[in-house]
Amino acid sequence: MRNRKTLFIISAFILFAAAAYFVFDYVKSSTTQVSYSDFYQYFQEQKLESVTFSGDSLLFTLKIDGKQKFKTQNPDSPSLKEELLRGGVEVKIEKDGGQIISLIFDLIFYAFFIGVIFFVFRKFIGPNSFKVMHKTGVHFDDIVGMEKLKKDMEQIVRIMKNPSEYAKKGIRMPKGILLEGAPGNGKTLFAKALAGEAKINFIPAKATDFESMFMAIGPMKVKLLFKKARRKAPCIVFIDEFDGIGTTRNYTGSALETENTRIVTALLNELDGFEASKGVLVIAATNSIKALDPALIRPGRFDAKLTVPYPDEAARRALVEMYTKGKNPAAECTPSLLVKMFDGFSCAKIESVLNRAALLASQAERSEFTLDDVKQAIREN
C-alpha cells in the first residue's frame, strides 16, 4: 500500500512537471515573432528594454510597451550579451525546456537514490534491529539439572534485585558474564532464565546480526544495541555465538578482518562506557573462550566466566523422563539404559534423538519406539 502511494506521488509530480513545461512553452510561443534584423535595429535605436536568452530564441521587450513580448532567433554570438549589457539592456539567461526536463529527472533520480540509501540504513540499523523481550517466560525451575550453575546465577539475580544492599558490602554486579559450552547445552536458556528470575528486560542478539555487506554497519549496530540497552535498563543483553564477532583481532588489512577489528573495538568501547550499577548486564555465549580477543574477556569487562557442562547422570535421567512423555517407549527402553546410552550428549541432542526415535516408530506404524529406533536415531544425529 505504501509503495503504491509513493508511486502515485512520483507519477503525479512528473505529470505536473510536464504540464508546467507545456504551459510555459505555450506562453513563449504566444509572443510576436520578428526577424533578427528588426531586433538588431531596435538595439541600435536603443529601444530594447530587456532581452532573455532562451535556448535557440531571444525573447525581448521594448521600452515603448514593456508588456508586449517579441521573439527572434538566437544567433549564438559570443559578443551579443556583452553588447547588450554595454547598451544598458537588461539581460536574462533562461534554461530551455530540455534543460528543465533534464533537471526534473535528475531531481527524481537523486530523490530515488537517497530513498534507497534511507531504506537500506533503516533495514540494517533501524530502531527495530534488536527486539526487547519484557518477559522471557523462562525460570530456573525450567532448567533440568546443572545445580551449581543455577546457584551461581541465583546469586547474580540477588545482586541485580538489591544492588544497593550489596554495594554496602563492597560488592558490585558483574559487568558481563561469559557462558562457555558445547552447542545445545542450554546457554541461551540460562540467559533467558536469569532475565525471567530477575524480572527485567531481555535483548537477544547473535553474531550474524552484526554482519552486513556494507562496511562499518557492524560497529554501528553494536552502538545501537547498547544504546537501546541503556534506555531499557534494567536489562540483560545476550549475545549468542560471541566467537563469531569477538575473535582475536587480526591486522592483515583484508576487508573482513578490518570489519571484525572495528566490531571488537566498538564492543570494547561500549563495555568500558557503562557501569554495572546502571542496570545493564551483558551475557555472551561462546563455544570456545580461547578464540576470543584477550582484551574482550579480561576482568572488568566479563567478570564471570561460567561453563555450561554436558548434563550429568542425574540431569540426563530428568531429561529422558521429560522428553519421553507422550512418546510411548518400549519396555526395553528403560530410563537407566537410555541414560547410559546418552552419556556425553548435549540436552538438545537427547531431545532430538528421542524425537527421531518416535518418528521412526511412527513411520513403521508402531505405537512404541524400540532400542533399535534409538540406536538408528543416534547414528543419524
pLDDT > 90? residue 340? yes
Which pLDDT score, from 0 to 100, does residue 111 have?
81
Which pLDDT score, from 0 to 100, does residue 359 have?
93
Which pLDDT score, from 0 to 100, does residue 213 have?
61
Query: What's the rounded mean pLDDT across residues 281-297?
Result: 84
pLDDT > 80? residue 266? yes
Least confident of 13-27, 186-200, 367-381: 13-27
Mean pLDDT of the chain: 80
Q: Give dist(CA 53, CA 77) in Å, integer.
A: 11
> Percent of the chain scored above 90 by pLDDT?
11
Which pLDDT score, from 0 to 100, does residue 2 have?
54
Q: Which residue has the higher pLDDT, 6 or 114?
A: 114
pLDDT in tens, 157-209: 888 777 778 888 888 777 788 888 888 888 888 889 888 888 889 999 888 77
Q: Give dist(CA 82, CA 296) in Å, integer.
A: 71
Which pLDDT score, from 0 to 100, does residue 376 have?
93
CB atoms within 10 A of CB 144: 20
DSSP for residue 75 = -
Which pLDDT score, from 0 to 100, does residue 140 have?
85
> Could you give the count of Cα atoms lying within 13 Å of 66 in the half-sphere of its Cβ?
5
Closest C-alpha among 100, 97, 81 to residue 89: 81
Which pLDDT score, from 0 to 100, does residue 373 have?
92
pLDDT > 80? residue 252? no
- Strand-pairing partners, residue 154, are none
pLDDT > 60? residue 126? no
Which pLDDT score, from 0 to 100, does residue 22 have?
55
Query: What's the rounded mean pLDDT across residues 21-39?
Result: 70
Averaging pLDDT over each range in 59-68, 183-192, 205-214, 296-305, which range is the top one? 183-192
E-strand ranges in the chain read 32-33, 48-54, 57-62, 69-73, 90-94, 176-180, 201-206, 235-240, 280-286, 304-307
Query: What's the rounded mean pLDDT across residues 39-44?
Result: 88
Which pLDDT score, from 0 to 100, does residue 5 have?
64
pLDDT > 90? residue 58? no
Q: Give dist(CA 180, CA 143) in Å, integer.
A: 17
